[in-house]
Chains A and B, each alone.
Chain A
Amino acid sequence: MGAATPLTTPLVCGTATARRALRALVEARGPLVVVQAEGCCDGGSPMVFGADEFPLADSDVCIGDVEGVPFYVAGRELAAWAHGDAELDVASGLPDGFSLAPGPGEHFVVRWSACPAPGRNP
């Protein structure tokens, strides 16, 4: 499993809609993880998987959590993340890759806006 070493920056947080969606998904399916996807097609999108489903590696870094759901970024990508926090949100559209959907016709997105300090949910 990944070395869950939360960093102080960037911060991660979630909008009220995203937090509500995650709570409902956890209720229905059990523990989850969010993985910021790399590369091609739906890369760049946050993907939500069952906690034991995605093969987290030591190189995946947990940068915080949203509603208790840890948010992972590949350490190799994190090096370039100097600007902006990751705010999880929900938008209309099809779910990305094999990600769980927040609701019918919706998918999770990340907005690179400032999170309320200290990176916890308001």
Chain B
Amino acid sequence: MSYARPGADGSPIAVASHYDNFIGGAWVAPAKGSYREDLSPATAQPITEVAESSGEDVETALDAAHVAARRWRRSTGAQRAAVLDAVADAIDAHAEELAVVESWENGKPVRETLGADIPLAADHFRYFAAAARARESRISEIDEHTTAYHFHEPLGVVGQIIPFNFPLLMAAWKIAPALAAGNCTVIKPASPTPWSILKLMEVVGGAVPPGVVNVVTGPGAEVGKALATSPKIAKIGFTGETTTGRLMMRYATDHLIPVTLELGGKSPNVFFEDVMADDDDYLDKAVEGLVLYAFNKGEVCTCPSRALVQESVYDAFMERALARIAAIRVGDPLDPATMMGPQVSRQQLEKVSSYVDIGIAEGAEVLIGGQRAHPGGDLEEGYFYEPTVLRGTNDMRVFQEEIFGPVLAVTTFRDEADALEIANDTLYGLGAGVWTRDGNRQMRMARGIQAGRVWVNCYHQYPAGAAFGGYKISGIGRENHQMMLDHYSQTKNVLVSTDEHRVGLF
């Protein structure tokens, strides 16, 4: 049975008529008093209204963060860990509610939010609680009389811009390491998904000292730009499209601040002929591995959107894969049996549809799908698209450009060298999958593919502790690992001499 829609009769989830910004631990109305409707992509109907903020609100949030930073930057690892653990506990205590909120606003099926987004978000805070507690400074003995101390110091106040595809999990990926390293943050959520992080603040706001985490909603050209160009931030963390990533670096240039960028992808998922060597659980897993392109309706930067299947097993393997794809249940994201929900917005739906048209014009063959899905009832107005597979060649636009929807581009390869060449023939380098029973080939391919994350005999797993980030135009820096603490810290070197004698130069 489906979960009740937030705010509807029978739903335990309260929906206010409108939501303000979360600044300094309180709900603060936008300076200009403007709000705009926030839609559910399942029905295209409003859920609520959110603040349509301006640069003034960003300033207010940055000022609150700077006040909070005076104390928070001096907090101990144990104190930071206690806060992050309390956030994780609060998420766990409200996991089902947050899962339904996330699902309804983003469109992702609730079985994914219950099984992945929300528990992974909580775990991420726990991981960085542990990392904050266990972090050590370093000392080098330069010589008998000289010691170099390396202290970690917070950057101060950082700006973080979150994408619409995993609004809560990507927020966790950014907030947890920033706080663990002693920073305060001002966050701008993506325009299509501003509400779920405000619901998260309702749940965790009391666990975090006022001003340490602040959320300002509004358009990128106004709020995002005001945040990214402000001289009051010491760093920008951004996840989103490559073009805006370039804009972030340009903004960062003005104040010479560091950026961490997690950008686009067109990830190859490579299936060698030996996956079909037996009709066993492994083959079953490999078939699912191909179909994982439909996870989160393809709105994943690491979507395995290019399947490379060895030509000798192409027909047999794709027969199984297409049967699995035909069985994908598209529909109400709040129904636990639903496997794929709507695209996040009308523009995403139209873009997906437009790319399928481009693919057909380029000569790609539609193996399945290729049109809007029709779940019936009031979901007919929602942004549903059928899981789609296009067969073509790697030089086509649908193989080279990120569609960000449930559209798989599939092609064949002859041998390992051919597979590696096609896999790397892309502008991007975020993710990749390698499927083979041959252990040596697994490692050769994994090392040969130019991508920051290569899954071997699995895909779309995101455990805390496994570094995640891009090669090529897929980004700069890593997330999801304790090395993020370095991305959010300054290094203070104190060089101490215990020598009583002068150097002798003057």
Contact = CB atoms under 8 A, between A and B. Distances in A.
A54 to B, nearest CB: 6
Contact of B347 (A36, A53, A109, A112): A109
A36 B164 CA distance: 20
B354 A112 contact: yes
Interface in B173-226: 190-192, 219-221, 224-225
A97 B247 CA distance: 10
Interface string A19-39: 000000000000000011111
B265 A40 contact: yes
Interface in B342-359: 345-347, 350-351, 354-355, 357-358
A91 B354 contact: no
B240 A83 contact: no
**Most B CB atoms within 10 A — which of A81, A82, A94, A112?**
A94
Contact of A43 (B190, B253, B402): B402
Interface string A80-95: 1111100000011111
Given A38-B243, A80-B397, A112-B358, A95 B220 contact: yes
B263 interface: yes
Interface in A79-122: 80-84, 91-101, 107, 109-112
Nearest to A98: B220
A122 B396 CA distance: 30
B415 interface: no
B357 A54 contact: no
B361 A97 contact: no
Interface residues of B, number: 52
A89 to B, nearest CB: 10
A91 B347 CA distance: 8
A41 B247 contact: no
Interface residues of A, number: 39
B221 A98 contact: yes
A94 B247 CA distance: 19
Given A44-B401, A80-B400, A39 B428 contact: yes
**Most A CB atoms within 10 A — which of B239, B347, B357, B402?**
B347
B445 interface: no
B246 interface: yes
A75 to B, nearest CB: 11
Contacts of A54: 246-247, 250
Nearest to A37: B243
Contacts of B191: 94-95
Given A40-B241, A43-B404, A94-B219, A80 B354 contact: no
A80 B395 contact: yes
A81 B240 contact: no
A97 to B, nearest CB: 4
Contact of B403 (A44, A77, A80): A44
A63 interface: no
A37 B401 contact: no
B355 A41 contact: no
B244 A92 contact: no
Given A80-B401, A97-B244, A41 B362 contact: no
B31 interface: no
B400 A97 contact: no
A95 B222 CA distance: 11
A53 B263 CA distance: 20
Contact of A44 (B240, B355, B362): B355
Contact of A83 (B345, B346, B362): B362
B427 interface: yes
B473 interface: yes
Given A82-B362, A100-B221, A39 B247 contact: no
Nearest to B250: A55
A38 B192 CA distance: 19
B132 interface: no
B402 A39 contact: yes
A36 B402 CA distance: 12
B401 A98 contact: no
Given A94-B345, A99-B221, A41 B163 contact: yes
B269 interface: no
Interface in A41-76: 41-45, 47, 49, 53-55, 76
Given A54-B246, A54-B250, 19 more contacts: A35-B243, A38-B473, A39-B265, A39-B266, A39-B401, A39-B428, A39-B474, A40-B264, A40-B402, A41-B301, A42-B241, A43-B241, A80-B395, A81-B397, A91-B347, A91-B350, A92-B346, A94-B219, A100-B221
Interface of B: 163-165, 190-192, 219-221, 224-225, 239-244, 246-247, 249-250, 253, 263-266, 299, 301, 345-347, 350-351, 354-355, 357-358, 361-362, 395-397, 399-404, 427-428, 473-474
The 4 closest A-B pairs by CB, nearest first: A39-B264, A39-B242, A40-B264, A37-B243
19 contacts: A40-B242, A40-B404, A41-B239, A43-B243, A43-B402, A44-B404, A47-B244, A54-B250, A55-B250, A80-B396, A92-B346, A93-B346, A95-B191, A95-B219, A97-B220, A98-B225, A99-B220, A110-B354, A111-B354
Interface of A: 35-45, 47, 49, 53-55, 76-77, 80-84, 91-101, 107, 109-112
